[in-house]
Amino acid sequence: MDLAARFAVVIATDASAAQVAAARPHSNVRYRVASAEASGLDSSSVDIVTVAQALHWFELAAFYAEVERVLRPAGVLAVWTYNVAHVAGASIERLLQEFYWDTLQSYWPAERELVESGYRTLTLPYPEMTAPAFAMQAQWSLQQLIGYVRSWSATARYVERNGADPAVLLEKALLPEWGDPDLLRCISWPLSLRLGAKP
């Protein structure tokens, strides 16, 4: 929706019809079901192509060819990803990082390494521009943090393989450190933004 405030028309695509159906309507946004590698957009028709937290799932050669086709000259490819969450409070932060890096280490898909590197190991098809540093932030209760942890694919894989929810143990460990579970703590995610401009 932030893009819709800055552009007259935003064409938002997703390969999942269910995701598109769940999208929030906006007068400036046109939703389509399409893959990243075959957008259905007209050639030389857009000023910017954006990808949020998804580049690691694409077939890059085909996607970059599609970007080259649909971008106008001087158009921008902007890709970004958010890294591991951090939480305020040293002991809470330590427990969260141990859960991510130790408990779930073998349950993350191989593509997760691309996210953890901030996409720095991927080559963009255009000369790169310098991007500013960003971070997302939220104020969450303990239950909100645990709900987020349960949404991770690695947590789901852990449950599938072991028949137990590892978030239960994390919550138990966090509770005495958190204090009042309704207390809101700052959660932050470093963002990695990479920008390339088509010649």
d(CA 93, CA 99): 10
The answer to whether position 164 is within a domain reads: yes
- List the structure tokens of 63: 């996607």
Q: Alpha-carbon distance 80 to 191, whole Å?
A: 7
CATH of the domain at 111: 3.40.50.150
Q: What DSSP string runs through 76-108?
A: EEEEEEE---EESSHHHHHHHHHIIIIITGGGS
| pLDDT for 6 beyond 90 | no
Q: Domain for residue 146, yes or no?
A: yes
Q: For residue 15, is it within any domain?
A: no
Query: Given this model, what pLDDT does residue 157 score?
Result: 97
Range of the domain at 87: 81-193
Distance, in Å, from the CA atom of 6 to the CA atom of 140, rounded to the nearest integer, reads 29
67 lies in some domain? no
Q: Considering the chain, what is the average pLDDT of its residues?
A: 94
- Give tens-digit pLDDT for 23-70: 999 999 999 999 999 999 999 999 999 999 899 989 999 999 999 999
Tens of pLDDT, residue by residue over 125-175, are 999 999 988 889 999 999 999 999 999 999 999 999 999 999 999 999 999
- Tell me whether residue 127 is in a domain: yes
Query: Does any domain span residue 12?
Result: no
User: In this model, does residue 179 exceed pLDDT 70?
Assistant: yes
Q: Which amino acid is residue 179, in one-letter code?
A: G
- In a domain? residue 75: no
Dihedral angle, C-alpha 23, 146, 109, 12, nearest 10 °: 10
Which runs of E-coded beta strand occur in the chain?
10-14, 29-33, 46-52, 71-82, 86-87, 128-129, 134-140, 185-197
In this structure, are residues 12 and 23 in contact, taking their beta carbons and an 8 Å threshold?
yes
Label residue 1 by pLDDT band (50, 70, 90).
low
Q: pLDDT-based confidence at 111, cuts 50/70/90?
A: confident
Question: Residue 60: which residues within 8 A CB-CB, separation 6 or more?
Answer: 122
Nearest-angstrom CA–CA distance, 183 and 163 = 30
Nearest-angstrom CA–CA distance, 44 and 60: 19
Residue 43 lies in a domain: no
What's the rounded mean pLDDT across residues 93-99?
Answer: 98
Question: How many beta carbons lie within 10 A of that of residue 118, not counting itself?
Answer: 17
Number of domains in the chain: 1
79 falls in which pLDDT band (50, 70, 90)? Answer: very high
